[in-house]
Amino acid sequence: MKFFHISDLHIGKQLHYYNMGDNQKDIFKQIVDKAMEYRPDVIIIAGDIYDKSVPSAEAYSIFDKFLNDLSDIMPNIPVLIIAGNHDSAERLNYASSFLKKHKIYISVNPPESEDEYLKKIVLEDEYGDVNFYLLPFTKPGYIRHLFEEGVVSSYDSAIEAIIKRENIDYSKRNVLVSHQFYIAGEVTPDTCESEQIYISVGGLDSVDVRHVMNFDYVALGHLHGAQSIGYEHIRYSGTPLKYSVSEEKHNKSITMVTMGEKDSDLLIEKIALHSNQDVRSEKGTLSEIISRATDENRHDYISITLTDEDEIYKPKDQLEEHYDHILEVKIENSRTKAQLEETNYDATILSPFEAFKQFYKDMQGVEMSQEEEMIMTDVISSLQEGEGE
């Protein structure tokens, strides 16, 4: 069985107030074209469909066209979708019963009652059944009521409990689709600026891969860089587009997985995706950066660092004559470095969680308990996910 694994579409994303809708339309067309070329048996989208929990009308329209274009491929390719931490369960679940008729399956919440379990989609190939388990983004509070008191006390124990509850037959071929921050013991995955604000300091929202290692493949969403974590078969596909300058070195792609019979090696390949507008940085003097402008790169999203020692007259105005999507202009020279040294100040910027943790200790004279840390993590996460609505 062959399947595409993608995630973190972030439809509706703006990059420093630049609308990325046209870039997203183009990259989704590339994914549809690749699906027509490679003919996967299933397409997995592992969460964060939208960038905000209340998407714009344009965002809905872009996703609607993407699904329609995938549905037009004959024979139909099943599409499996889970909700991520950016998604609104209610909005993403809209028309799910209608979409199911077109082999588009959506799971937006973990089990909510004792008689509910993870949504399982069973597909068949020449070797028999493959069970796809859909596990949307889950907080401990979402499922704590399903277990005895004390069983679910963290993100890690929540995912462990919900997986054990499924009583999965691992003698069969099983695929998990999940949207969480997974680690492998002391090893953490590579992160970048674009998702770090949604990852808790101290790893409070981390989940160890040992709870999911028995699946034949684990299709992850949440992180923007394509990578495996702990095992080759537990993978983040990364975003199809660059969503911050910190991603400029990423090579965006579709992860294509070919699964044979049980216990055979997986074939994992990457199908390259290319955006019309790159996201990158430029550093040098004003004249050097201007000289590097070409017809091919002048429309890129660019973060610029100027190193001129002399004062420059309206540098951004001059740069905008050559680049039309400037994200920021920074100055880095001997004067700025000296000013920083003169302050003689350790400019450590605390995260919201760290700041509140320090405030709590100063006020109460004791450290926060683990339960209090979990509550504060959820509050901060909810506020960050709702920014810009």
DSSP 345-376: ---PPPPHHHHHHHHHHHHHSSPPPHHHHHHH
Phi, psi of 218 (to 5 degrees): -125, 110
Shared domain for 30 and 155, answered yes or no, is: yes
Strand 301-306 and strand 279-284: the pairing is parallel
- Which residues, in sequence order, are CB contacts of 227 under 8 Å at separation 6+? 189, 190, 235, 236, 238
Shared domain for 8 and 47, answered yes or no, is: yes
Shared domain for 334 and 370, answered yes or no, is: no
Quote the pLDDT of residue 342: 59
CA dist 41 and 3 (Å) reads 6
Quote the pLDDT of residue 353: 74
Quote the pLDDT of residue 12: 95
Alpha helix (H) residue ranges in 57-169: 57-71, 89-92, 96-100, 140-143, 155-165
Phi, psi of 6 (to 5 degrees): -130, 165
Shared domain for 146 and 246, answered yes or no, is: yes
Tokens read off for 194 = 């674009």
Quote the pLDDT of residue 389: 43
Burial class (CB in 10 A: 0-12, 13-18, 19+), 291: exposed
Specify the residue for token string 């994200």.
327
- Which residues, in sequence order, are CB contacts of 167 under 8 Å at separation 6+? none
CA dist 211 and 253 (Å) reads 27
Shared domain for 251 and 365, answered yes or no, is: no
> How many structural domains does the chain have?
3
- Which residues, in sequence order, are CB contacts of 182 under 8 Å at separation 6+? 189, 206, 207, 208, 209, 212, 220, 229, 230, 234
Shared domain for 8 and 148, answered yes or no, is: yes
Shared domain for 99 and 193, answered yes or no, is: yes
Measured from the Cβ of residue 52, the count of other Cβ atoms closer than 10 Å reads 21
**Length of the chain measured in residues:** 389
What is the CATH number for 150?
Answer: 3.60.21.10
Phi, psi of 29 (to 5 degrees): -65, -40
Quote the pLDDT of residue 388: 43
First to last CA, the chain: 40
pLDDT (tens digit, 0 to 9) for every residue of the chain, 389 residues total?
999 999 999 999 999 889 999 999 999 999 999 999 999 999 999 999 999 989 999 999 999 999 999 999 999 999 999 999 988 888 888 777 778 888 999 999 999 999 999 999 999 999 999 999 999 999 999 999 999 999 999 999 999 999 999 999 999 999 999 999 999 999 999 888 766 655 654 567 899 999 999 999 999 999 999 999 999 999 999 999 999 999 999 999 999 999 999 999 999 999 999 999 999 999 999 999 999 999 999 999 999 999 999 888 899 999 999 999 999 999 988 876 666 555 555 555 556 777 787 777 666 667 777 777 777 776 766 665 554 44
At which of 257, 272, 287 does a domain end?
A: 272
- Is residue 86 within 8 Å of 222, Cβ to Cβ? no
CA dist 271 and 37 (Å) reads 11
Shared domain for 261 and 359, answered yes or no, is: no
Peptide bond into 75 cis (omega under 30): yes
At which of 272, 295, 314 does a domain end?
A: 272
Q: pTM for this one?
A: 0.87
- Is residue 351 within 8 Å of 373, Cβ to Cβ? no
Cα R_g (the chain), whole angstroms? 23
- Is residue 3 within 8 Å of 257, Cβ to Cβ? yes
Q: Which domain holds residue 330?
A: 279-343
At which of 225, 255, 272 does a domain end?
A: 272
CA dist 20 and 59 (Å) reads 10
CA dist 59 and 91 (Å) reads 12
- Is residue 146 within 8 Å of 165, Cβ to Cβ? yes
Shared domain for 261 and 302, answered yes or no, is: no
